[in-house]
Structure 1
Amino acid sequence: MKWYVLQVMTGSERDVCTALRRKGVQARAPAQRMEIRRRGQWQTEERLLLPGYVFVGAEYTAALFHVVSPVPGVIRWLGLERGEPQALDTREALRWRLDSTETLEPSRVLFRADGTWHVLDGPLAEFAGDVVRMDRRQRRAYVVTSLGGTPQRIRFGVVPVDGDAR
């Protein structure tokens, strides 16, 4: 099975996944747990990893195109080449954790006294080389990576770890 990327209307990702599953198409909108600060307290919430995008797992055919395209909320297939969407390679599919339907946990990041950091584990470990900004105070890491040939800025939740603790 190959994975393809759909651009969908932001806010309709879960509805699109549900509609596609009813039609027998495997669809995922990866989610992650993030710590959000509200009224001075940290709360854990589930947020979409890629708002506006849904992954479709199938072998691409014209019939699949005609099943997926009319679903309300679907805008377009990403990575079109000669009229057909290009599948993600296996490494990229694993990088996005498409082999699992579970919600991703925040990544643990070691923050050293000299201002440097190191990703210890979690989904951010796959994107550590693409981090453009690490915000310890807000517990966020910002990554720029390619998705279907389009550069995307993605926000990951992190759990800070001080010093040399592991």
Structure 2
Amino acid sequence: MSEDAKWYVIHTYSGYENKVASTLQTTVENRGLQDMIPDVKVPTEIVTEIKDDGSSKEVERKLFPGYVFVKMVYTDETWYVVRNIRGCTGFVGPSSKPVPLTESEVYKMGVESRVVEVSYDVGDQVRIIDGPLEDFVGIVDELDTDKNYVKVTISMFGRETPVELELNQAEKLED
């Protein structure tokens, strides 16, 4: 059942994000709803704060204050469980009807990360396998797996042209 689960966003009182997330996780365990609500997240990032005296320290900051992300199968029961968590003000969507996040929104917001296996490296010859430049061949100049992009130089109209692609848009050209 959990493969049908989609990510939803719930609105919370400011400062209650972690409390809502932990209470929801406890409720899911107590009611045996792990198949219906497999994941709850409060996306955060580590930032370095510099104080007036010049000292700095690493702190964890919420990416979306006032919001908690819930991966769930939407039913009347799961809606009721989430909606009745103390500190939760409702789902994000028109008239409190939850609208699931699209797959691209999930990855762009940092709720989930994709694992992309790359079979090529800087200096390798690759073929573009997707997009408007499909079937062009070029050399990998730059590779960033964290940001999911590769920079490839291709020959187009007699000129060397650098293009930026997603990692899965290119494959290594076999010798």
TM-score bucket of the superposed structures, by smaller chain: 0.5 to 0.7
Query: Could you tell me which of 59, 65, 72 is aligned with 1:45?
Result: 59
The within-5 A match list for 1:1-166 is: 1-24=5-28, 25=37, 26-38=39-51, 39-80=53-94, 84-99=97-112
| SS of alignment partner, residue 23 of structure 1 | helix
Question: Which structure dedicates a bigger proportion of its chain to strand?
Answer: 1
Q: How many residues align?
A: 105
Instruction: Give the superposition deviation at 1:99.
Output: 2.1
Structure exhibiting the larger radius of gyration computed from Cα positions: 2
Q: How does the TM-score come out when normalised to structure 1?
A: 0.57
| SS of alignment partner, residue 61 of structure 2 | strand
Query: Aligned pair in 2 of structure 1 residues 122, 36: CA closer, same or farther (>3 Å)?
Result: farther
| SS of alignment partner, residue 88 of structure 1 | coil
Q: How does the TM-score come out when normalised to structure 2?
A: 0.54
- 1:14 maps to a residue whose letter is N
| SS of alignment partner, residue 70 of structure 2 | strand
Distance 2:7 2:43 in 1: 13
Instruction: Give the superposition deviation at 1:70.
Output: 1.2
Instruction: Give the superposition deviation at 1:122.
Output: 9.6
RMSD: 2.4
Query: Aligned pair in 2 of structure 1 residues 121, 35: CA closer, same or farther (>3 Å)?
Result: farther
Query: Aligned pair in 2 of structure 1 residues 79, 16: CA closer, same or farther (>3 Å)?
Result: same
Larger RCO (CA under 8 A, 6+ residues apart):
1
Distance 2:144 2:57 in 1: 21
> Identity over the aligned pairs, expressed in percent?
30
